[in-house]
Amino acid sequence: MVIVMSHKATDEQIEAVMKRLKEKGFRINLSRGVERTVIGAIGDETMLGDAGIELLPGVDKVIPILRPYKLASRIMKEEGTVIRIGDVEIGGGTVQVMAGPCAVESKEQLFEAAEKVKQAGARILRGGAYKPRTSPYSFQGMAEKGLQLLAETREKYGLLIVTEVMDPRSLPLVVEYADIVQIGTRNMQNFWLLREVGQCNKPVLLKRGLSATIEEWLMAAEYILSEGNPNVILCERGVRTFESYTRNTLDLSAVPVIKHLSHLPIIVDPSHALGKYELVPSMAVAAVAAGADGLLIEVHPNPQEALCDGAQSLTPKKFGKVMVQVGEVARAIGKKV
Amino acid sequence: MVIVMSHKATDEQIEAVMKRLKEKGFRINLSRGVERTVIGAIGDETMLGDAGIELLPGVDKVIPILRPYKLASRIMKEEGTVIRIGDVEIGGGTVQVMAGPCAVESKEQLFEAAEKVKQAGARILRGGAYKPRTSPYSFQGMAEKGLQLLAETREKYGLLIVTEVMDPRSLPLVVEYADIVQIGTRNMQNFWLLREVGQCNKPVLLKRGLSATIEEWLMAAEYILSEGNPNVILCERGVRTFESYTRNTLDLSAVPVIKHLSHLPIIVDPSHALGKYELVPSMAVAAVAAGADGLLIEVHPNPQEALCDGAQSLTPKKFGKVMVQVGEVARAIGKKV
Amino acid sequence: MVIVMSHKATDEQIEAVMKRLKEKGFRINLSRGVERTVIGAIGDETMLGDAGIELLPGVDKVIPILRPYKLASRIMKEEGTVIRIGDVEIGGGTVQVMAGPCAVESKEQLFEAAEKVKQAGARILRGGAYKPRTSPYSFQGMAEKGLQLLAETREKYGLLIVTEVMDPRSLPLVVEYADIVQIGTRNMQNFWLLREVGQCNKPVLLKRGLSATIEEWLMAAEYILSEGNPNVILCERGVRTFESYTRNTLDLSAVPVIKHLSHLPIIVDPSHALGKYELVPSMAVAAVAAGADGLLIEVHPNPQEALCDGAQSLTPKKFGKVMVQVGEVARAIGKKV
Amino acid sequence: MVIVMSHKATDEQIEAVMKRLKEKGFRINLSRGVERTVIGAIGDETMLGDAGIELLPGVDKVIPILRPYKLASRIMKEEGTVIRIGDVEIGGGTVQVMAGPCAVESKEQLFEAAEKVKQAGARILRGGAYKPRTSPYSFQGMAEKGLQLLAETREKYGLLIVTEVMDPRSLPLVVEYADIVQIGTRNMQNFWLLREVGQCNKPVLLKRGLSATIEEWLMAAEYILSEGNPNVILCERGVRTFESYTRNTLDLSAVPVIKHLSHLPIIVDPSHALGKYELVPSMAVAAVAAGADGLLIEVHPNPQEALCDGAQSLTPKKFGKVMVQVGEVARAIGKKV
C-alpha cells in the first residue's frame, strides 16, 4: 500500500509511520516530493491488514495497491476454469443455458417447463424451492417438496438441476438434490453460508449482490474458494441504479471485466435484471456477444399464472426463439451452445 | 392497483383484464380517457398479488396504489412505538446512544470502552462477537467467548448490550446474552433470520441494507413484526452511491421519512456510513437534529490498534465531546439524552 | 393521473380535490375502496400539469399515468425513424459506426485516424473541437481550427463528420462544419442549447446524461423535436453507479427499452462508458447484438500520446478487428454494417 | 502518482515506463516488491497529466496521489473564506438563509414572498427568472421581466437577490440584476458558463450536480476560481440514488467533507433534494447542525398555485417556524442566524 502524508506532516510523524509499518512486517520505500511525502509499504496487504496507519498523525490517506482476492484472481490461475458436471461443461467454449421457472409450483408446471427447455436445447433446469421474497405475504416456495420434484424431473428429462439455498440448515438437503447450488443476490455476503458451500462437493452459482462491486463479488467467491471448493460460477444479474423502467441495470461489462480479473466462468441472468420478459431476448443475445459462458433465463409454461416473477418469464415458445438467436450469435463469435 | 391499457387495446382485451381481476377478487372501476383506458382494481393488493395482469394482452402498465407493509405502517398504529428495556426507553423523547467497539477483542478493551462510554452518558454498549467481513482473511470475531465478555461487561458496568446475529444457528446464544439483537446490513433481507428474530423475545435493531429502499426496509421490519415481535428499532447506516470520499452516503432524510410512514423508532449509525472518524461528530449531531431516536457510534479505547474498522472509531475523549454537543442539540429541539 | 387520498381523508377533502381537478380541465372518475378513495383525473397531463393537487388536504399521493413525452414516443410514430445523410442511413437495418479520436489534435493525427477508420469500414468520423474537461488545467480543444480540420478531412476522405457543440454561441459555426451535431452528456439538460439545435437543419446526436433516466433522456429529445428538428439520434454512453472498475456502467438494456418506447434510432458509445480500451471490443459487439443502430468508438493513431482519453482509445489495428467481429454479429442478427 | 506494474512486467517494460515519466518531467522512485514493482512518479500531476502511462506495456494501473484541485483546497488557503455582500456575511459564524419562490411569477407573488421571508429573518431572496425544466411544455420562467421584478423587490424590501443563469448570453443581464449568481445543478459542468461567471464581479452560488462527486464539484469551483473570482458558495442539493420516496438523497455529509477539503462556504438546499415540503423542516435543521453556512429554502405564498415545484415549497407560516428551530439549533452549536 501507499501512504500519502499530509502536506503539513512533520519528520517525527513520518518516522512514526515508518516505524509502525516495519513493526507490522512491511518493508518501506520513502519518497519525498515537493508537495507531499509518500511512503510505499511492501508486503502482503491481504494478510497484514492496514495496521491502523490511516489514524496516525500526519497521514492524509492510505491507498491499497494489490487486489484483495488471491484464489479468485487470474494471477493465481492463468487459464480459465472449466467446470464439468457429467458431460456438461461450464466455462469452455460452450454457452450453457440454464432455464426454467422462478419457483417450483407443481409437478405439472415443472415437467412441462423441463420438457420445453430441453427441446429448445438447454441442458440445465432452474427452479426455486426456497424463495427469498420481499414481502412476508408472498409465496415462499415449496421447500423440500420442491427439491423432490426437481430430482424427479431430472430423472425423467435428463437435465441438470440448479436451485437456491437460503439457510445453512437446509444446505445438506439442497446439496443432496441439486447439481449446482445457487447463492442468491441477497446472500452474496452471507459469509457463513459462503463458507459452508465452500465445504460442499457441488459447484456453486454465486449471484452478484444487488449493489456489490466486482471486487466484493470476487471476495465472496474467495470465501468459497478458500474453503476448498474450486467450482464457482459467477452470475451477473443486474445492479441497483436510479433507472426505474427496468427492475435493475444489467451490467454486461462485468463479463469482460471478470474475464480480465478472474479465471472463474461467468453467466448472465437477464430475467431478474430486467424484470420484463420483452427485454430478455435482446439482452440474452447481447450477453453471449459480450463473452458470457452461459445464461440463466426464466421460462414458465404459463407466465400469467406464475406464483413468482411472471412478468419476467418467457413462454416456452419465446424461449425457443431466443435459443435460436443465441446459437447464431454464439457461432458468430466462435462459440457453440 | 391501477391498470393502464395500451392506446391500441381492444374492447376484448379490456374485457379480459376486467374478467380476470374479478376472478381474483378485485372490484373494478373503469375509466375511458381520450388517449387511454384505465382500470382501477379495488381490493387488498398485499394479499391478492398482481394476478399476472401485467402480462395480459393490451396492458401497458400496472401501478400499485397501496404501500405493501401493514404492521410497520403508521396507518396501522398512529402513535410512535416506544421500546422499554428496564428503565431505558427507545423511541420516546430521549436520544439513546449506543456506543462501543466494532468488535469485541478482549476483556481489557471491552471494559475500558464500557467505562468510558458510560461516563460520557451512554446507556447501551455495542460490540460485535460475530463479524461479517468482506475478506475471508480478516478477523471474524470472538464468537461465544465474545458474547460472554459482553455479558460480563453488562454485569460490571450496568449497560445494556446490543450485538449482531449473523446465522440462525447462533440466534439462541445471542438472544441469551444480548438485550438487543442486531440484524446487520448484509442480512436485512435474510428472510429466514428475520422470521426467527421475529419469534424471539428481545428487541431487534434492524439495519438498512446497503442499497435498500425505505420501502424494502419496512418490508423487512414487516417480516419481524408479522411473527409477533413488536419491538423493532430501525437503524439508518448509509446507502451505496457513486460518492467515494465517504464509505457510504448517510441518508439522513430517512429519519423524517420513517417518522412519516411508520411508528417504529429510528436511530442513526454515522460511523459505518462515513468510515472516517473525523466526520462522525457533525453527522451524529445532525442526526439528532433530524429527529433520530438514537445513535449507534463506534468508540474504541485505541482505534489505531482496532482489529476492525479503526478508521471510523472515536477515541473515548472525542466521544465525550460528541455527547456534549448531542445533548445541546437535543435540548434545542426539545429532547433529552 | 391518479390521486390516492389518505385513509383519513374526509368527504369535504375529496370534494375539494374533485372541484379543483374539474376547474383545471380534468374529467373525474371516483373510486371508493375499503381502505382508500382513489380519484382518476382524465385529461392531458402533459399540458395541464399536476394542478397543485399533491398539496391539497387529504391527498396521500399523485401518480402520473401517461408518459410525459409525445413526439419522441412510438405511440406518436409507429415505424422507426431512419435518418439519411447522403447515402448513409442511421436507424435502418445497418449498423453505422462513428469512429475517430476524442479530440482533434492536428492535421496529421486526424488524417491518419480518418484513413484508418475508413479502411476498416466506418462511414462517419468523430472528433471533438470543443472538449468538456473536468479540470480547467486540461486540454480544452482546438475550437474553430479543429472544425476546419474536420471539414478538410471530410473533403479528403469522404467521411461524414460528427462533432460536439458546447455553447449556443458556437452553434452556427458547428452547424456550418458538421454533418451531425453532438450534444454531450453534460449538456443533455442544457435546455437552451437543446432548443437551438432543435432549430438547426442538421441531425443531432444526443448523449444520455450521466445519471439521466430514460424518461428524462426522451424528454431532452422532446425539446429538440418540439422545435421542428425530427432527426435525433440517441446515444447510450454509460451511467454513474457505485462500480469503480469501469468509468461508468454501460446500460445496454437502454437499447431495447428505447426501441420499445420510442421511434428514434439509438447508438452506443462503449469507449466513454468503460474508460478502458481493452473492454471496448466485447461491449461494442454486445451493443450490436442488443439491437443498437450504431456505435461511437474512439480510435487514435497513437493512444499513448492522446491529449484526451487515451486510455479508452483503440489503435487503428484493434479497431479493424472490432469491425470484423461487429460485422459477424450484425449478420447473425440479420443486419449489415 | 503511483504506477503499479503487472506481476508479469519485464525489466524492459519497467525501464520504458521510467524513461517516459522522466521525459514528461516526473522524478522517479522505484520499489520492487515480492509480487509487484511499483513506481512512484513525483511531480505536479495536475499540470503534467498522466502522460499516457496507463497504456504502456506491463502497466497494471495508475493511481493518482494528489487531489486535482488547488485553488479550492484548504491546503492553498487554510482559513475559511467569508464572502461579504454589504453587511451580509456568508461563511462566518452566521447561518444565512436564502428563501423565496422557485420561480418569479408576478409582482404580487414576489412581494408577498419577500415580505414574509424578511419578517421571518432571512436576508437573501431567491427566485428564478430562467427555469430549467425537464419538459418543454412546462413554464420556463419570466426571463428579463422576472429579473426586473427581483430588482424592484430588492429595492422595496432591502433583501439581497440570488437568481440562476442558464445561458452565457444572458449572463450580463443576470449580473446586472443579481447580488449572487446561481449556477444550477444541470450546469455544474457547463464549463464555458463556469469560466464566464469566473470573470464576473458577483459571488457565485454553485449547486452540486445531480450525480457529481465532491471532487468534481470542487473542480467546477476551480474553473470559477481559476478565472479570478474568489467568491464561490457551494450548495448541496441532493444526489441521485435508487431511493424514490424522496426526489433525491440529500448528502449532508458533504458539509463536513467540504469543510475538511476546502475553504469555501457551503450551504444546503433541502427543498430540491427532498421534493416534499413536509420533510424540509427536519433536514433544514439537520443541515445547520451538520455545520452548513446557510440554507436555500423554497417559500411560496400559495404553494398550491405555484407554477413550479409547489410540492416542495413551504408556506410563509411554516417557514417562520423553521426559522425559529434553525435559530435554536444554530445557537446550540455556537452559531447565529
Quick one: pLDDT at residue D122?
97
| A13-17 long-range Cβ contacts below 8 angstroms, 24+ apart | A13/A56, A13/A57, A13/A58, A13/A59, A14/A39, A14/A58, A16/A56, A16/A57, A16/A58, A17/A53, A17/A56, A17/A58, A17/A59
Quick one: pLDDT at residue C302?
93
Phi, psi of D168 (to 5 degrees): -60, -25
Chain A hits for C214, CB-CB cut-off 8 Å, are: 243, 245
- The yes-or-no verdict on residue C50 having pLDDT over 70 is no
Tell me if A189 and B132 make a contact (CB, 8 A cut-off): yes
Contact with chain D for residue B278, Cβ under 8 A = yes
- Proportion of chain A above pLDDT 70, given as a percent: 98
Distance from CA of A330 to the nearest CA of C (A): 9
Three-state secondary structure of B108-170: HHHHHHHHHHHHHCCCEEECECCCCCCCCCCCCCCCHHHHHHHHHHHHHHCCEEEEEECCHHH
- Residues 6+ away with beta carbon under 8 Å from C108: none
Chain C hits for A278, CB-CB cut-off 8 Å, are: 256, 260
Burial C145-174 (b: 16+ CB within 10 A, else e): ebbbbbeebbeebebbbbbbbbbbebbebb
Q: What is the predicted ipTM?
A: 0.94
Cα gap D46→D222, rounded to integer Å: 12
Average pLDDT over chain A, rounded to whole? 94
Question: pLDDT higher for D223 or D49?
Answer: D223
Quick one: pLDDT at residue A183?
98
What residues pair up with C38 in beta bridges, in sequence order? C4, C31
Quick one: pLDDT at residue C44?
76
Chain D hits for A66, CB-CB cut-off 8 Å, are: 4, 35-36
User: B 206-265 residues with CB below 8 A of C?
Assistant: 240-242, 244
Angle between helix D214-226 and D254-261 (nearest 10): 50
Residue among A253, A288, A314, A329 with most chain C CBs within 10 A, to mutate: A253
Quick one: pLDDT at residue A41?
87
Tell me if B286 sits within 8 A of D252, measured CB to CB.
yes
Contact with chain C for residue A325, Cβ under 8 A = yes
Span C191-211, pLDDT tens digits:
999 999 999 999 999 999 999
- Residue B326: pLDDT band with limits 50, 70, 90: very high
- Proportion of chain B above pLDDT 90, given as a percent: 80
Q: Which of A134, A191, A277 is opposite residue B216, by nearest beta carbon?
A: A134
Span B151-175, pLDDT tens digits:
999 999 999 999 999 999 999 999 9
Tell me if C283 and A290 make a contact (CB, 8 A cut-off): yes
Contact with chain A for residue C289, Cβ under 8 A = yes
Chain D hits for C133, CB-CB cut-off 8 Å, are: 191
Distance set, CA D65 to CA A108, B48, D50 (Å)? 62, 56, 12
Lowest mean pLDDT among A292-306, B29-43, B233-247: B29-43
Tell me if C75 and B7 make a contact (CB, 8 A cut-off): yes
- The yes-or-no verdict on residue D35 having pLDDT over 90 is no
Cα gap A36→A34, rounded to integer Å: 6
Span B43-99, pLDDT tens digits:
877 666 666 888 899 999 898 888 889 999 999 999 999 999 999 999 999 999 999
Q: What is the mean pLDDT of residues A185-202?
A: 96
Say whether D221 sits in a helix, a strand or coil.
helix
Distance from CA of C318 to the nearest CA of D (A): 14
Cα gap A128→A110, rounded to integer Å: 11
Question: pLDDT higher for B159 or C37?
Answer: B159
Pairing state between β D2-5 and D37-42? antiparallel
- Residue A47: pLDDT band with limits 50, 70, 90: low
Contact with chain C for residue D310, Cβ under 8 A = yes
Number of other CB atoms surrounding residue D206 within 10 Å: 27
Q: Which of B242, B282, B290 is opposite residue D282, by nearest beta carbon?
A: B290
Please identify which residue in the block is written with the cell numbers 485553488.
D71
- The yes-or-no verdict on residue D51 having pLDDT over 80 is no
Span B111-157, pLDDT tens digits:
999 999 999 999 999 999 999 988 898 888 999 999 999 999 999 99
Span D124-174, pLDDT tens digits:
999 999 999 888 888 889 999 999 999 999 999 999 999 999 999 999 999
Cα gap C310→A80, rounded to integer Å: 29
Angle between helix C316-332 and A316-332 (nearest 10): 150
Quick one: pLDDT at residue B302?
93
Phi, psi of A67 (to 5 degrees): -75, 145
Quick one: pLDDT at residue B50?
65
- The yes-or-no verdict on residue C49 having pLDDT over 80 is no
Taking the alpha carbons of D105, D108, D111, D114 in that order, is the dihedral positive or negative?
Answer: negative
Chain C hits for D210, CB-CB cut-off 8 Å, are: 211
Chain A hits for D78, CB-CB cut-off 8 Å, are: none
Q: Which of D243, D252, D260 is opposite residue B286, by nearest beta carbon?
A: D252
Lowest mean pLDDT among A150-154, A293-297, C59-63: C59-63
Question: pLDDT higher for D114 or B306?
Answer: D114
Average pLDDT over chain C, rounded to whole? 94
Quick one: pLDDT at residue C67?
86
- The yes-or-no verdict on residue A87 having pLDDT over 90 is yes
Tell me if A144 sits within 8 A of A169, measured CB to CB.
no
Quick one: pLDDT at residue C124?
98
Chain A hits for D36, CB-CB cut-off 8 Å, are: 65-66
Quick one: pLDDT at residue D239?
98
Angle between helix C254-261 and C280-290 (nearest 10): 30
Q: Which of C215, C249, C328 is opposite residue A253, by nearest beta carbon?
A: C249
Span C138-190, pLDDT tens digits:
888 999 999 999 999 999 999 999 999 999 999 999 999 999 999 999 999 99
Please choose, from the candidates D277, D272, D117, the residue with its C-alpha nearest in 3D space to the C-alpha of residue D207: D272
Tell me if C331 and A332 make a contact (CB, 8 A cut-off): yes
Q: Does domain A83-332 have CATH number 3.20.20.70?
A: yes
Span C264-299, pLDDT tens digits:
999 999 999 999 999 999 999 999 999 999 999 999
What residues pair up with C99 in beta bridges, in sequence order? C125, C297
Distance from CA of A305 to the nearest CA of B (A): 6
Q: Which chains touch C (3+ CB pairs under 8 A)?
A: A, B, D
Domain boundaries, chain B: 2-63, 83-332
Cα nearest neighbour of B260 on chain C: C60
- Residues 6+ away with beta carbon under 8 Å from D125: D98, D99, D100, D113, D114, D117, D118, D150, D153, D154, D157, D159, D160, D161, D162
- The yes-or-no verdict on residue A50 having pLDDT over 70 is no
Span D62-78, pLDDT tens digits:
988 888 899 999 999 99
Lowest mean pLDDT among A27-31, A333-337, C45-49: C45-49
- Proportion of chain D above pLDDT 90, given as a percent: 81
DSSP C184: P
Residue among D217, D276, D282 with most chain B CBs within 10 A, to mutate: D282
Quick one: pLDDT at residue D50?
65
- End-to-end, the C-alpha distance of chain D in Å comes to 44
Quick one: pLDDT at residue A49?
66
User: C 69-128 residues with CB below 8 A of D?
Assistant: none
Q: Which of D256, D286, D329 is opposite residue B279, by nearest beta carbon?
A: D256
Please choose, from the candidates C169, C234, C180, C242, the residue with its C-alpha nearest in 3D space to the C-alpha of residue C208: C234
Quick one: pLDDT at residue C273?
96
Quick one: pLDDT at residue C34?
73
Q: Does domain A2-63 have CATH number 3.40.50.1980?
A: no
Average pLDDT over chain D, rounded to whole? 94
Tell me if B169 and A169 make a contact (CB, 8 A cut-off): yes
Tell me if D117 sits within 8 A of D100, measured CB to CB.
yes
At D74, list the grid cell: 484548504
Please identify which residue in the block is written with the cell numbers 444520455.
C208
User: A 161-180 residues with CB below 8 A of B?
Assistant: 166-169
Q: What is the mean pLDDT of residues D23-38?
A: 85
Cα nearest neighbour of B29 on chain C: C31
Distance from CA of C215 to the nearest CA of B (A): 15
Residue among C3, C35, C243 with most chain B CBs within 10 A, to mutate: C35
Please identify which residue in the block is written with the cell numbers 449482531.
B164
Quick one: pLDDT at residue B176?
96
Cα nearest neighbour of D241 on chain B: B241
Tell me if A40 and D38 make a contact (CB, 8 A cut-off): yes
Tell me if C147 sits within 8 A of C110, measured CB to CB.
no
Chain A hits for D31, CB-CB cut-off 8 Å, are: 29, 40, 42
Cα gap A83→A86, rounded to integer Å: 10
